A and B are shown apart, each in its own frame.
Chain A
Amino acid sequence: MFATPYIKVHDIKVQVVDSRGGRLGRRSIAKPLSLLVVALFAIAILAACNAQPEFGDYLQRGLAADPESLDPHKSRSTEAGDVLRDLGEGLMGYSPDGELEPRAALRYALSDDGLEYTFWLRPEARWSNGATVTAEDFVFAFRRLVSPETAAFYAHSVADIENAADILAGTKPVQALAVSAAEEFVLRIRLANPTPYFVALLSHPSTFPVYAPGAVEHGDAFARPGRFVTNGAYRLVGWQLGATIDLQRNEHYWNNAATAIDRVRYHVIPEPTVELNRYRAGELHVTSNVPSEAFQRLRKERPDELRVAQRLSVYYYGLNLTRPPFRDNSALRQALSMAIDREVLAGQIVGRGEAPAYSWVPPGVNNYEPRRFAYAELSMEERRTAARDAFAQAGYSKDNPLAVEIRYNTSDANQRIALAVQSMWRDTLGVQTTLVNEEFQVLLSNVQAMQVTEVFRLSWSGDYNDAHAFLQVLQSNASSNLAGYRSEKFDNLMQRAAEQTDAERRRRYLEDAEQVLLADHPVIPLYFFVSKHLVSPEVSGWGDNVLDYHYSQHLSLNAAN
């Protein structure tokens, strides 16, 4: 009796809701929601089960970017080179201290005319599948390197081999390449002209041998885990793009007994601060870089782990010589160069142990003494006075000031340097400098077009330890001559050096060429880079060297302190 009216009222209520436009039934929303939750958790757990628990007792190295490829002929980045030097082995290689030494070759000889190299290969050298490494493997690789079909980035580095240039241009078949297998373990390479740095090139990954059956079977995508047959200390077992590259000991490697570390994992970490955090969290043994903002603190906190070494790499301002104000005005170029206080720039603005640059070729290059700017010995005050004189001689003054533009690719470090240079130029010469920052690709295309650029920031690193690696950049016909420098005198000296088989004479020609270059000021070198790594106390065998090459096979891990 009592309950009836209550129910009725309730029923009416439901109808009221209905009349507002919906059958708002008594279905609970809880059920679909809980289904969703269960489903998503199931996904998470499944995915988590998929992940392999792999972290443990092997060498963990930072890598600043993904290699664009591990195919020796399709890669060109420093990062690809770092990984490839663990996987493969050229005729030549480097010791931990950066000394060039035969690797896949036992020894080599050069003919008296300086044109023909003979390499005796190690008969005990094996591919990671156990097959013997023969001279034919090198022949195959060199032909593939220069074949127009491969379109290898570094094809031109071996253009000095007889017929290589013609093959690249498509006018001769690859079989014409003067690389031949005289015997199973004897390789002959004939050059078109003497090239003293040629042996150093043979340590570069682009000249590594390629396992022909693998390349034939898998076509262009042979350099992948499970397929890639390598002849170095390690083989490729995993590559998750954007995350990790896994290497494992190559049991067949001829010097396997000397390899201490079984497994190596490269972690791809583009951001140095992120890399530092991971190092501090104990996830890395070796970092690829050190963030500048943490450098001073690390120097105090972890002096033994911070490894800083000279590197064959220069940070420079290029000047566009094809347009005013820099065309035909070396006095102006010199004035601007002199007015820059490189000690302050390298010591305080960059401040990570970099050396101020008074030459184009970095110190530390084999068999070479870098020349220096004529004014390098003057005090900064004397330089400023000389800069003002040269500025006036160039036709500029406080009343007729120079307005110039510096273009650089967007980054804090580049901006700090540009700001410093801007104020140095203003204080000493009254130059009005505009700073323009651009994304790297935009900067590059502007620099290459030579239409709008005046002063531009770039850097150059040597691929091999020879002064030629730097000086050739500014030859008239060099594709990387982005300043548009044309000097007959310089080109002649470079040509003479190229024809020279006597090391001492060649060295003098190269040094004279640099002297000409520095007097002309087509570029303003600012400082020489240093390599910076954090190396865990657990790692031994680390050697600092100017090329910044650190083969994993030279390292070993000892128990944590």
Chain B
Amino acid sequence: MLRFALLRTLSAIPTLLLVIVVAFIMVRAAPGGPFADQRVLPPDTASNLAAAYHLDESLPQQFWRYLSGLARGDLGPSYHYRDYSVAELIGNAVPVSLLLGALSMLLALLVGGAAGIAAALRRNTWFDRGITALAMTGISVPVFVVAPLFVLIFAVWLQWLPASWSGGNGLQRLVLPVIALALPQVAYIARLVRGSLIEVLSSDYIRTARAQGLATTSILRYHALKPALMPLVSYLGPAAAAVLTGAVVVESIFGIPGLGQLFLQSGLNRDYTLVLGIVIFYAVLVILLNLLVDLAYGVLDPRIRER
């Protein structure tokens, strides 16, 4: 297992390098620059700024400077937030994003999983159809509709919860964004678990277990759930990445100082180093999550572990 994990990590290095090169080229190919403004800078000021940030060097030189900084673990200074380094900015945003993402995934797993199992056990009843319909709604109604609606109902009309991150504290301010972010995932997971469980439940060995008189709960607990969760596990990696990277809409609606907002702004500001820093962070995250999923397969499915 350890060897497997190590090999996978090593094989990720070329991928990461490629990501850095492509991101560097793309962000530099975009028109504009970190100091562009309709209040155009006078030539002296512009060249002083370019010199201060080494933007007057050739692109290969700048790339080399960036890579050697990276090798020392230095992501460089932010070009837009001139008092901060990229590492500081990412370091401030990551805990917030992780918390939001982890809670949403947890909620999605609990609610989505439970709903999926319940629906699968009561297949083709009104309950099942209700869950399926709700899930379809959850998937198709976009978060930029749901989130403002939540704010309107729970913050403006009922005044139960804060409308924003900085409008409350503790768990309170997490409730609406976590639910908004989890909703599409709840729906997706419910459908996934339902489908997969129905398939497993109709397989021969479950029928045999039933024939032996095992109670439904025991069948689920010892025989059906594990194989039924396999598709869910393979979905979790990309889903976690999607929740972390795709939180930008929720973050902007609730004013959450997370990574998604920072990423969006860095692109609009042409904050070259910050864009690259976040791309690298996301790339590492996705690689790690995929590794975790592969390891989780092994835990759930011995056939993979033994190979």
Q: Which residues of A contact B (CB under 8 A)?
A: 9-10, 13, 16-17, 20-24, 26-30, 32, 36-37, 40-41, 43-45, 47-49, 51-55, 66, 68-71, 74, 76, 148-153, 155-156, 159, 165, 168-170, 220-221, 223-224, 240-244, 265, 267-271, 273-274, 277-278, 280-283, 439-442, 444-446, 448, 458-460, 479-480, 482
Instruction: List the A side residues contacting B270 at CB < 8 Å.
Output: 441
Complex contact A283–B163 (CB within 8 A): yes
Residues of B within 8 A of A159 (CB): 42
Supposing A44-B174, A54-B169, A280-B156 touch, asked if A74 and B95 sit within 8 A by C-beta, the answer is: no
B231 CB-CB contact with A under 8 Å: no
Q: In the bound complex, what is the Cα–Cα distance between A273 and B253 (angstroms)?
A: 9
Q: Is there contact, CB below 8 Å, between B221 and A444?
A: no
Partner of A22 from B36, B52, B106, B301 at Cβ < 8 Å: B301
Contact A28 B103 (CB under 8 A): no
A76 adjacent to B37 (CB under 8 Å) = yes
Q: Which chain B positions have C-beta within 8 A of A48?
A: 170-171, 174
| Other-chain contact of B92, A45, A70, A241 (Cβ < 8 Å) | A241
Q: Which residues of A contact B83 (CB under 8 A)?
A: 69-71, 74, 220-221, 223-224
CB distance from B44 to the nearest CB of A (A): 4
Q: Which of B35-63 contact A (CB under 8 A)?
A: 35-45, 48-49, 51-52
- Which A residue sits closest to B251, measured CB to CB? A242
Which B residues are CB-close (under 8 A) to A265? 166
* Cβ–Cβ contact A242 & B258, under 8 A: yes
Instruction: Kindly state the separation between the CA atoms of A151 and B152 in the bound complex, as whole angstroms.
Output: 45
Select the residue from A22, A71, A242 with max chain B CB neighbours within 10 A. A242
Counting contact residues on chain B (CB < 8 A from A), the size range is 35 or more
Task: Given A153-B45, A156-B45, A283-B167, decide whether A439 and B106 contact each other with a Cβ distance below 8 A.
Answer: no
A residues within 8 A CB of B42?
156, 159, 479
Of B121-129, B130-138, B204-212, the stretch lying at the interface with chain A is B204-212
Distance of A222 Cα from B35 Cα, bound (Å): 21
CB–CB B99/A44 < 8 A: yes
CB distance from B52 to the nearest CB of A (A): 4
The residues of B that contact A66 with a CB separation of less than 8 Å are 81, 265
Which B residues, 64 to 119, have Cβ-Cβ distances below 8 Å to chain A? 80-84, 89, 92-93, 95, 99, 102-103, 106, 110
Report yes or no: A281 in contact with B255, Cβ–Cβ below 8 A.
Answer: no
With a CB–CB cut-off of 8 A, which chain A residues contact B151? 274, 277, 281
CB proximity of B69 to chain A, nearest CB, Å: 17
In chain A, what residue has the closest Cβ to B35? A153
B52, B93, B163 — most chain A CB neighbours (10 Å): B163
Q: Which residues of A are found within 8 Å of B51, using beta-carbon distances?
A: 148, 151
Q: Is the CB of B148 within 8 A of A277?
A: yes
| Cβ contact of B205, chosen from A16, A150, A271, cutoff 8 A | A16
B139 at the interface (CB under 8 A from A): no
Asked whether, in the complex, the Cβ of A267 is within 8 Å of the Cβ of B102, the reply is no
Cβ-based interface call for B245 (8 A)? no
Q: Across the interface, which residues of A come within 8 angstroms of B35, CB to CB?
A: 153
Stretch at the interface among B9-17, B18-26, B222-230, B278-286: B222-230
Q: Are B39 and A240 in contact (CB under 8 A)?
A: no
Is residue B237 within 8 Å, beta carbon to beta carbon, of the partner chain?
Answer: no
CB distance B39 to A76 under 8 Å?
yes
Contact (Cβ within 8 A) A43 B102: yes
Least CB distance, A271 to chain B, in whole angstroms: 6
B262 at the A/B interface (Cβ < 8 Å)? yes
Q: Which residues of A contact B174 (CB under 8 A)?
A: 44, 48
Could you tell me the distance in whole angstroms from the C-beta of A338 to the nearest C-beta in chain B?
25
In angstroms, Cα B81 to Cα A448, docked, is: 24
Asked whether B82 lies within 8 Å of A53 as measured between CB atoms, the reply is: no
- How far is A426 from B150 in the complex, measured between Cα atoms in Å? 44
Q: Which chain B positions have C-beta within 8 A of A10?
A: 212
Tell me the minimal C-beta distance from A282 to chain B in angstroms: 7
- In Å, the complex CA distance between A43 and B101 comes to 12
B302 touches A23 (CB 8 A): yes
B198 to chain A, nearest CB (A): 18
Known: A13-B212, A23-B302, A274-B255. A241 touches B110 (CB 8 A): no
For residue B195, CB closer than 8 A to chain A, the reply is no
Taking the closest CB of chain B, its distance from the CB of A280, in whole angstroms, is 5
- Are the C-beta atoms of A273 and B41 separated by less than 8 Å? no
B208 CB → nearest A CB, Å? 5
Do B166 and A47 touch across chains, with their CB atoms under 8 A apart? no
Kindly name the residue among B31, B52, B162, B208 whose own CB sees the greatest number of chain A CB atoms within 10 A. B31
List 24 A-B residue pairs with CB atoms under 8 Å apart, sorted by A's residue number: A10-B212, A13-B208, A22-B303, A23-B302, A28-B222, A40-B102, A40-B106, A48-B174, A53-B170, A71-B82, A74-B83, A148-B48, A152-B45, A168-B48, A240-B166, A243-B257, A267-B255, A269-B164, A278-B164, A281-B156, A282-B159, A283-B162, A441-B36, A479-B42
Question: Judging by beta carbons under 8 Å apart, are A442 and B82 in contact?
Answer: no
Decide: A153 and B41 in contact? CB cutoff 8 A: yes
Contact of A44 among B43, B103, B152 (CB under 8 A): B103
B187 CB–A CB distance under 8 Å: no
CB distance from B177 to the nearest CB of A (A): 12
Nearest A residue (CB) for B221: A28
Q: Is the CB of B303 within 8 A of A444?
A: no
Cα of A144 to Cα of B52 in the assembled complex, Å: 14
CB pair A51 B170 closer than 8 Å: yes
The residue on B at minimum CB distance from A318 is: B38
Contact with B223, one of A24, A155, A244 (Cβ below 8 angstroms)? A24
Pick from A20, A221, A460: contact of B38, CB below 8 A: A460
Neighbour of B302 across the interface among A22, A45, A240, A241, CB < 8 A: A22
> Which residues of B sit under 8 angstroms from A459, Cβ to Cβ?
38
B142 at interface by CB-CB < 8 Å: no
What separation, in Å, do the CA atoms of A207 and B299 have in the docked complex?
64
**How far is the CB of B255 from the nearest CB of chain A, in Å?**
6
B162 to A: closest C-beta gap in Å: 7
